[in-house]
Amino acid sequence: MFEKEIKAIEEEIRNTPYNKATQKHIGMLKAKLARLKEAAEREKTKSSKGGKGFGLKKSGDATVLLIGLPSVGKSTLLNRITNAESKVADYEFTTLTVVPGIMEYKGAKIQIFDVPGIITGASKGRGRGKEILSIARAADLICLMLDVTKNYNTQLKIIKQELYDAGFRLGEKPPDVKIYKEMRGGLKVSSTVKLKKINEETIREILKEFRILNGEIIIREDITPDQLIDVLVGNRVYVPFLVIVNKIDLLENSSNLKDAEDMIFISAKDGKNIEKLKETIWKKLNLMRLYMKKIGKEPDMNEPLIIKKGSTVKDVCIRLHKEFLENFDYARIWGKSAKFPGQNVGLEHKLNDEDIVEIHLK
């Protein structure tokens, strides 16, 4: 029903050079394409009888997904860094279901899932791709795993494209855009920054395609037409990522391979760079440790409370139990966030890694 129209629009976008004169037209085409794809997906879901999905039960302090093409060594890595026993073999598609494992690191229990290898067309359903990618929506970090003995840049391009087509925006944050719809009164476009990547005419054309003719849009960063469309579609997933390039043990010389902020080279088989990988995963998850202290007792330094960096005393109370928030009086803090040991603080006090927290109730 929608396929022919979608292909025609995609072809027109490919054949239209992008410049200031064509920005409005291409923006309209992309908005229409996104809307048609959403409608096609809803139609497909409605008419589908549904198949057997992958059961996924989250546990631990964070969830990490290993995603890659078949036979890149995900199972070997999972067995290396967790308590899992994922089947390993030298042929493709060894993993046919989701295999979980727990990586214990710095007192945290980090759940890691090995999923079946994805292939080109996964975002459109090939190779159970839709089921695999739907699992990725529950992840706190996505690890893209590659094979260094093959063209790993090509592998990375394929995986990133499939994830992008499935609505994932790796390493990005949601655009700072607010849209307020009204029944009448026309459309007001406001921005707090100078817009260089999109003009007002294009903004209005895209909103028109999504049937938004009245209300106000407030833009607080310089966004692209694609980012505005992402806001309007509304089901995008913004998640951090890490690229893991495996099998460096098969290279004669791996000394010229340099790790980067979002990429690390390892050997899951030989264990090379595994400790650095664990530390990088920890940092990417943006976690910190807090040690809870009961009044009049020594703090429990064996089992830290694992929580996101930037969390406040209020976040700790919510995490422990609602009565801690309801009956909160004050907290005493020891550590980097305290001006002095045992400082009395309120709910909005921002905590640091390895702080000691003692909560006092009314």
For the stretch 329-350, pLDDT in tens is 999 999 999 999 999 999 999 9
How is residue 61 annotated by DSSP?
Answer: S
Half-sphere exposure of 320 (CA within 13 A, CB side): 21
Q: How would residue 88 be classed by pLDDT, with cut points 50, 70 and 90? A: low
The predicted model scores a pTM of: 0.84
Helix (H/G/I), strand (E/B), else coil: 225: helix
More confident residue, 113 or 179: 179
Let me know how long the chain is. 362
For the stretch 210-223, pLDDT in tens is 999 999 999 999 99
Mean pLDDT of the chain: 88
- Give which of 174, 177, 147 is closest to 159, Cα–Cα: 147
- Give which of 223, 267, 221 is closest to 81, Cα–Cα: 267
List of domains in the chain: 3-50+175-233 (no CATH), 62-172+237-285 (3.40.50.300), 288-361 (3.10.20.30)
Express as a percent the part of the chain with pLDDT over 70: 88
Residue 77 and residue 125 in contact, taking contact as beta carbons nearer than 8 Å? no
